[in-house]
Amino acid sequence: MDEMHSISVTEKLLPYEDFSYKKDLLRKYADYIGKCDKDFFSLVNNIFVDEEEKGEIVDEMILKTKQLEVWNTNLLMDVNFRIGQVVNRFNDQVDEMKQQRITITYENILVFE
């Protein structure tokens, strides 16, 4: 009597590759954005505060600039935190794509002599 059988396995087609080095690269860009922000806020401070500008408009611009500075700082902190999570998830996704589920179906033939 002939019988059909199937075997399913997961086969790794390519070796694991670690993309952790991307964290440093992305953080470098985030740091550069932070430096640009710092330069901008320093320039605003030099124009309005150091030159002792006065008035309601100036006060409002200083307030809005300080709020923007806090918001940007918090955003960059969040970005730096999430970079690690995103790269780790990327590692996992790439590793999963390097695997293939294979099903082998064969017929077991019994031969009687």
24-42 confidence digits (pLDDT tens): 999 999 999 999 999 999 9
Q: What pLDDT shows up at residue 1?
A: 56
- What whole-number percentage of the chain has pLDDT above 70? 97
Q: Is 87 exposed, middle or buried (0-12, 13-18, 19+ CB in 10 A)?
A: buried
**Which range in 10-14, 52-56, 82-86 is most confidently predicted, on average pLDDT?**
82-86
Residue pair 108/2 in contact by the 8 Å Cβ criterion? yes
Q: What pLDDT shows up at residue 48?
A: 78
Q: What is the pLDDT of residues 88-109, one digit of tens each?
A: 999 999 999 999 999 999 888 8
Q: Give the integer Cα–Cα distance in Å for 39 and 33.
A: 10
Residue position matching structure tokens 């996992």: 92
Residue 25: name the closest of 95, 84, 90, 78 by CA.
Answer: 84
**Mean pLDDT to the nearest integer, 47-75:** 86
Residue 67 has pLDDT above 90, yes or no: yes
**53 pLDDT tier (thresholds 50, 70, 90):** confident
